[in-house]
Chains A and B, each alone.
Chain A
Amino acid sequence: MDSDSEIIEVERKRSNLGAELSSQVLESLPRDLILCILSRLPVSSFVQLKSVCTGWRMLTRDPDLVNKYRSCMDGINNPCLIFHSDCTVRNQLHFVEFPACNHESEEKVKRFHVPFWEAMPEFDVLGSSNGLLCLSDSLQNDAICVYNPFTGNYQDLPKSTQFPNQQVVYGFGFHPTAKEYKVLKIVYYMKTDKDYLRPLRVYVELDSEVQIFTLGSSTWRSLGKVGYRHHLYQWHSQVLVNGRLHWVTWPRRYHRGIKIISFDLAEEQFLEVPSTPLMGFNYHLVVLGECLSAAVYFNYCKLEIWVMAEYGVEESWIKKFDIRAHMPKGLKEDPANQFFKNSKIIWKGGYIRVLCLLKNGDILLEYKNRALVSYDPKSGEFKDVIFQGMPKWYQTIVHVGSLTWIETSLISTDA
């Protein structure tokens, strides 16, 4: 009996020693090591560190660490998926951290507690860039905010100039060298009412005005006209490559095909991206593996993906993926409920959307806003991607989680 209690005593002393050491484990490690460890955490775990103790809380607020964490994440984990849904009275944002492997994993979808839900019950997600989301109020014109769902911190943007009969195309992105987030408004409007009196056959050219807001500044700035007569087409997500945002244009009468227009967030200039190999095709842009890519739609729901292997080099457009038609398991009849009939997400959605490239080389696809499927280009196989707690229908946003804190600046309240 004595030897037993002795053993227990020794064990207790040893584990206490271990406890003493471990209570300083993370804080006393060299910074590089701390970063090495923390950058392997999915962002939802990184967030929990804030609540452990004052030492760890300070760690998560260290801007150097937060910035480096973000850049490490890109290399290690799959991005987060955020689901914007309008299946209920107010819009919701859910998220899931895509596991590195195994599609039928135990990952559960969680819902963000959106702090401004009362002020903005219905919103559009304009884009996600470098850890932040840009949202616009669906009900109120010109209410835009930038939000970090993982910290709950957000900033309303100041009001910008409004125009008569305006149609707005938005841009949102982070420039990696300038290290600034910018929100872009490309406003198309009709100057005077008398344009309405022109015969309908005559093509009416719209005036345009580009406004830009740098996060951290206090007012919007005007950059004048777009400079292209082609009207840009607003897509569900931002296509940011090389510090430039990209859009395709609406087809113009008497002009063959659509163009690709880019906007450099640092230089604040528009530039056309050569796309002759895609002439005549109907496509949407997407970023795959950091390359500008085009998802080309064909009849019978076939899809081809062309990738611009070397940015700006026209000859480098290559057809990289050929995706045959597929009907995912989850798509039976349309839900027979009122919210579905009125859903603006469904109304704006399409049949298939290319989301991103996964770490294992699979392509993630969204079908009819109701099913996620991964496609393995090597085997040609489709796999349903199912997470517990997915909303019934949604728009998927590919997001890189981070704890970036939006510095609230002095916002001018003038209209």
Chain B
Amino acid sequence: MSSSSSPMQSTGRKLKLKSKDDETFEVEEAVAVKSQIFKYMVEDGVSNGPIPLPNVNGKTLARVLQWCQKHADPTITEDELNKYDAGFIDVDQAVLYDLLMAANYLNIEELLKLACMRVADMIKGKSPDEIRRTFNIKNDFTPEEEEEVRKENAWALGP
């Protein structure tokens, strides 16, 4: 499941991270390398002072690190992990947005997939009107465009 497949021996080495609002976090290397960014830093040996992360705020970083911790745990089963993920991603849209951006910026593939899947699930199976309500989007079509849209929507009929 994890790309860092070597046995999880705690080297005791920790990485220091600093969020954009100046919160600092200490995290074990084995957990941090879930992010490809940190993985390369560790491999290249550039992990001395606290790593500044100007694109991620403290609250989001805390959440992300919590997720990484859970996913770096060798004792956890796949079922437990799936349950954890389902609960983890069940958040309101503002938090989801932050998680998406953070996972993208830090290049954490699994978390990115999870967050994208969540947004996709919020869109799947909904009519355009329902999608608008879910994401609080304003219908800004002109009456002519609205007519065009209405015609296009007849592409598929029920059974």
Instruction: Tell me whether A79 is interfacial, beta carbon within 8 Å.
Output: no
Residue interface bits B103-126, CB-to-A below 8 A is 1, else 0: 010000000110011011001111
Q: Are A54 and B140 in contact (CB under 8 A)?
A: yes
Chain B residues whose CB sits within 8 angstroms of the CB of A338 once the complex forms: none
Instruction: Tell me whether B81 is interfacial, beta carbon within 8 Å.
Output: no
Instruction: Tell me whether A19 is interfacial, beta carbon within 8 Å.
Output: yes
Chain A residues whose CB sits within 8 angstroms of the CB of B124 once the complex forms: 41-42, 45
Chain B residues whose CB sits within 8 angstroms of the CB of A388 once the complex forms: 159
Instruction: Tell me whether B97 is interfacial, beta carbon within 8 Å.
Output: yes
Residue interface bits A36-47, CB-to-B below 8 A is 1, else 0: 111011101101
Chain B interface extent, by class: 35 or more
Contact of B159 among A26, A54, A110 (CB under 8 A): A110
Q: Report the minimal beta-carbon distance from B131 to chain A, rounded to whole angstroms.
A: 5
Given A33-B100, A41-B123, A109-B159, are A54 and B145 neighbors across the interface (CB < 8 Å)? yes
Instruction: Tell me whether A53 is interfacial, beta carbon within 8 Å.
Output: yes
Q: Are B155 and A113 in contact (CB under 8 A)?
A: yes
Taking CB as reference atom, which chain B residue is nearest A111?
B157
Q: Report the minimal beta-carbon distance from B148 to chain A, rounded to whole angstroms.
A: 10
Chain A residues whose CB sits within 8 angstroms of the CB of B10 once the complex forms: none
Chain B residues whose CB sits within 8 angstroms of the CB of A110 once the complex forms: 156-159
Contact of B128 among A44, A51, A54, A108 (CB under 8 A): A51
Chain A residues whose CB sits within 8 angstroms of the CB of B136 once the complex forms: 18-19, 22-23
A48 to B125, CA, bound (A): 9
Q: Are B153 and A51 in contact (CB under 8 A)?
A: yes
Q: Report the minimal beta-carbon distance from B152 to chain A, rounded to whole angstroms.
A: 6
Given A21-B94, A110-B158, A111-B156, are A30 and B128 neighbors across the interface (CB < 8 Å)? no
Chain A residues whose CB sits within 8 angstroms of the CB of B140 once the complex forms: 53-55
Q: Are A29 and B123 in contact (CB under 8 A)?
A: no
Q: How many A-B Cβ pairs are below 8 Å?
A: 116
Contact of B97 among A22, A30, A149, A151 (CB under 8 A): A22
Chain A residues whose CB sits within 8 angstroms of the CB of B145 once the complex forms: 54
Taking CB as reference atom, which chain A residue is nearest B150?
A51
Chain A residues whose CB sits within 8 angstroms of the CB of B93 once the complex forms: 18, 21-22, 25
A239 to B139, CA, bound (A): 44
Q: At the interface, is chain B mostly helix, strand, loop or mixed?
A: helix
Interface residues of B in 119-147 (CB under 8 A from A): 119-120, 123-128, 131-132, 135-141, 145
Chain A residues whose CB sits within 8 angstroms of the CB of B104 once the complex forms: 30, 32-33
Given A22-B94, A25-B93, are A51 and B159 neighbors across the interface (CB < 8 Å)? no
Q: Are B117 and A108 in contact (CB under 8 A)?
A: no
Q: Are A152 and B94 in contact (CB under 8 A)?
A: no
Q: Are A50 and B149 in contact (CB under 8 A)?
A: yes
Residue interface bits A93-108, CB-to-B below 8 A is 1, else 0: 0110000000000001
Interface residues of A in 110-162 (CB under 8 A from B): 110-113, 149-152
Instruction: Tell me whether A49 is interfacial, beta carbon within 8 Å.
Output: yes
Instruction: Tell me whether B76 is interfacial, beta carbon within 8 Å.
Output: no
Q: Could you name 18 residue pairs across A and B whose Cβ atoms are closer than 8 Å?
A: A21-B93, A22-B97, A22-B136, A25-B93, A33-B100, A37-B116, A37-B120, A40-B117, A40-B120, A47-B155, A50-B128, A50-B152, A52-B131, A110-B157, A111-B157, A111-B159, A113-B154, A152-B154
A26-B135, A111-B159 are known contacts; what are 15 more A-B pairs with Cβ within 8 Å? Answer: A22-B97, A22-B135, A23-B138, A25-B119, A25-B135, A26-B119, A40-B117, A45-B125, A49-B128, A52-B132, A57-B149, A94-B159, A108-B159, A110-B159, A113-B155
